[in-house]
Amino acid sequence: MSSKITVDAPLVILHGDEMAQVAFEKILDTFVTSRLEIPLVEIDLSAENRLVTNGQVVVDAVEALKRHGVGIKNAGMTVNRAQLGELLAKHPDLDGTKLHPLATKSPNGAIRKGIGGNITREDIEFRNLQVKRPEWVGRDIEVETMEVGGIKESYNELSRATGIVKLMFVGASGDPVELHRREVKKGDPWLLATNDLEDVKAWAHRFFQRAIDEKRDIYLGLKDTVISGYDGVMRAAIEGIFEQHYREQVEALGLNYFYELIDAQAARLVANPPERALWGVPDNTTGRKLFKLVEQLKRFGIPDRKAQVSISRMSAGGGDQYGSFNAPADEDGILKVIVDGEEKHARHVKKGDPILLMSNDHEAIKDWVLQVFRDASRKSKEVYFGLKREYMEYDEVFSTVITDVRRELAEAGTPPPSFMIMRPSSQLIKMITDPPRNALYPAQNLDGDIFSDISAALGGSLATASSIIESKDGTMLFEAPHGTAHDLYLRYLESDGKEAHFNSSALLYAVANALETLGEREENATLVDYAHRLKAALIDTVDAGIITGDLKGKTNAPENETLVDMQGFLDAVASRL
C-alpha cells in the first residue's frame, strides 16, 4: 500500500528557465511527486518554448489555471535582442518577423491579466534572519527627475460614457490616423501622457554635466522593457547623449555609469547605498517618490526591521503603464483622444516624442479593493493606500471605490480593517522608515513593482519573500518573486552541475502555499498538515543556521551558520519532515 498522500485535484505547474528551473525540478521531485499521489498539469513556459510555440503556451497556461484553479509558476527569462537572435538561429524554421508578442515578451503580465489576478507579496516569517541595516545617514546621494511632461502633465479623467477610446494622430497629410483603440465603461479612468524628446535630451545634458561637475557616480533607471515605446524611447535618447558627449569625460574622471530597470535599481540602491552618487529617474511621478524617500533616508536612516511588510499590487484590469499603449510619434502632428465619438483632448507632439495612453477598469479596481480588505481582515493587517488625488482624476476613482466598498462591507455586517489613504510618496516612506507590526500596502502596478522589490531587498532577498496572485473567481497562482539567477546558472553549467548555488526558499514556500490551498479546497486534512509541516521545516532549517551563501552573516548567530549548496539546503529541509 502506498504511503503517499492522495490528492484528487490537479495542480498546474508552469516551468521556467535557468537556475530557478534546476531548483524547481529538484523541489518537485523531493517534496511533491515522491510524497504525493497528485495529478500535475505541466506546461513548459521556458523562453525557448514560448518562442517555438509562438506564444501559444502562455495561452495554454492561462486556460489551465482558469480550469483547475491552483498553480505554481517558476521564474522565466525575458529574452533581449542578442538572446532572441541566438534562439532564432537555433530554430531556422521560425520567421522572426511573424512572432506574436507572447513569444518574446515576459509572460507574467499576460498571465495575470488572463486570470484577472492581483499580486500580494510579503516576507516569509523567518525567525532567525537579522538583516544588516544599510547605513543611510550622511550618504551623499542626489535624485534628479524631470519637472515637465510625463504623467505630471497628463490629461486624465473618468469616462463619462461606455464606449471606445480612440487615440488619433493628424500629421502632415492632414488625414487622421487611428493609433490605438480600447473599450472603456462609464466611470473608468483613462490618461494620456507625452514627453517632448527635446526636453528629455536637455534633461540628459544637465544630468550628466552635474555628475561630472560634482564628480558623482551615475545611475539611470527606467522601465524600458514593459514600456519600451515610452521609457525605452527616453532611455535611447539619454544614453545617446551620454555616448556622444559624456562617456569619455566620465571615464577620464574614474566615475561609473550604471543603467538598470527602475524596480531592480531602487531595491539595490536603497538596500546598498553608494557613498556618493547622482540617481537619474526621468519619469517624474516615480522620480519624485524616490527623491522624497532618499531625502528622508539621508536624514533619519532606516530603522531596524522587525515588522512583516505585505504589498498588494493591482495588476488585473490592464491598469496603469503596464497595460498601456506606448510608442514614439512617427512625425510632427496632433494627438487627439476621442471617447464614444466625442473629442476629449488634443495636444501637439513632435517626431520621436514618446506617447503613453493608459486606462483602468472600475470593476477591476473594486474587485482589488475587496481583495485587499479581505486579506487584511483575515490576517489582522492595517491598510495604507497610496493615491495621488490632488491633481489626478485617474487616482480619485480609487478613493471613491474604497469608500463604496467600506460602506458595502459595513452594511453586510463585515467591518473593514483599519485603513488610511495617503500620497504614494508618504506610503513608500512609511513602508521603509516606519512600518507598523503587520501592515498591507496596496499600490498600482508600477509602484507595486518598485515598492515590493525595495521591501524584499530590505527583508533579506527576493528569495525570502512570497508572492501570491489571486483572481476574483478564486484562481490562485503562487510564485517566487525572484528571477532565474542567470549568473548562478552559468556557474552551474561551467562546473557540470557541481556548483549549484541557489536559495530555493521562496520556490519551496510557493509549493507549500499551493498544496495548502489544494488541501483546504478539497477538505484534505492530511494534505493541509503536510503543507504546514513543509513550511515549518523550511523555517526550522534556517532557524538552525543552515543557509545558502546569499544569507551568510544575516542570521542572529553568524558564528553558528552552516553554509550549504542548493541540494544541501533541500536535504536539510527534507530531513526535518
Q: In 3-state terms, what secondary structure has residue 501?
A: coil
Name the pLDDT band for 391 (thresholds 50, 70, 90): low
Residue with the bigger pLDDT between 109 and 135: it is 135
User: Is 279 a member of any domain?
Assistant: no
Residue range 418-423: mean pLDDT, rounded: 92
62, part of any domain: yes
Please give the Cα distance from 69 to 65 (Å, whole number): 5
CA–CA gap between residue 15 and residue 73 (Å, rounded)? 7
Q: Give me the number of domains the chain comprises.
A: 1
Q: What is the mean pLDDT of the chain?
A: 92
- The model's confidence at residue 565, banded by pLDDT at 50, 70 and 90, is very high
**Structural domain span for residue 498:** 5-130+468-575
Could you read off the pLDDT of 482-513 as tens digits, one per residue? 889 988 999 999 999 999 999 999 999 999 99
Query: What phi and psi, each to the nearest 5 degrees, are found at residue 260?
Result: -155, 155
Higher-confidence residue of 454 and 44: namely: 44
The confidence score (pLDDT) of residue 1 equals 47
Q: Express each pLDDT in 237-275 by its tens digit.
A: 999 999 999 999 999 999 999 999 999 999 999 989 999
Closest to 169 in 3D by CA, of 357, 362, 11, 8: 357
- Here the CATH number for the domain that contains residue 17 is 3.40.718.10
Cβ atoms 120, 311 nearer than 8 A: yes
pLDDT band at 141 (very low <50, low <70, confident <90, very high): very high
Give domain status of residue 430, yes or no.
no
Question: What is the average per-residue pLDDT within 185-192?
Answer: 93
Q: CA-to-CA distance for 334 and 565, rounded, in angstroms?
A: 59
Rg of the chain (C-alpha set): 24
Q: Is residue 566 part of a domain?
A: yes
Least-confidence region, from 8-17, 324-333, 358-367: 358-367
- Tell me if 239 is assigned to some domain: no
Residue 55 is assigned to a structural domain of this protein: yes
How many residues in total does the chain contain?
577
User: Does residue 494 or residue 377 have the better pLDDT?
Assistant: 494
Give the max Cα distance, the chain.
Answer: 79
Q: Count the neighbouring beta carbons within 10 Å of the beta carbon of residue 133.
A: 13
C-alpha cell at 455: 521591501
Q: Which has more confidence, 512 or 456? A: 512
Query: Which residues have a Cβ under 8 Å from the Cβ of 31 and sit 6 or more positions away?
Result: 508, 511, 534, 573, 574
What local confidence, expressed as pLDDT, does residue 255 receive?
A: 97
Range 470-481 average pLDDT: 91
Q: Which of 163, 155, 159, 162 is nearest to 189 (CA)?
A: 159
CA distance 270 to 292: 13
Please tell me the pTM assigned to this model: 0.84
User: In degrees rounded to 5, what are phi and psi of residue 329?
Assistant: -70, 135
Q: What are phi and psi of 495, to 5 degrees?
A: -100, 10
Q: Is residue 103 part of a domain?
A: yes
Give the separation between CA 296 and CA 527, rounded to whole angstroms. 47
What are 297-352's pLDDT values in tens digits? 999 998 876 666 788 888 765 567 888 999 999 999 999 999 988 999 999 999 99
* Residues 6+ away with beta carbon under 8 Å from 412: none
437: number of Cβ within 10 Å = 10
**162 has pLDDT over 80:** yes
Kindly state the average pLDDT of the residues 26-51: 97
- Residue closest to 86 by CA, chosen among 47, 43, 46: 47
Inside any domain, residue 538: yes
Distance of alpha carbon 255 from alpha carbon 464, whole angstroms:
33
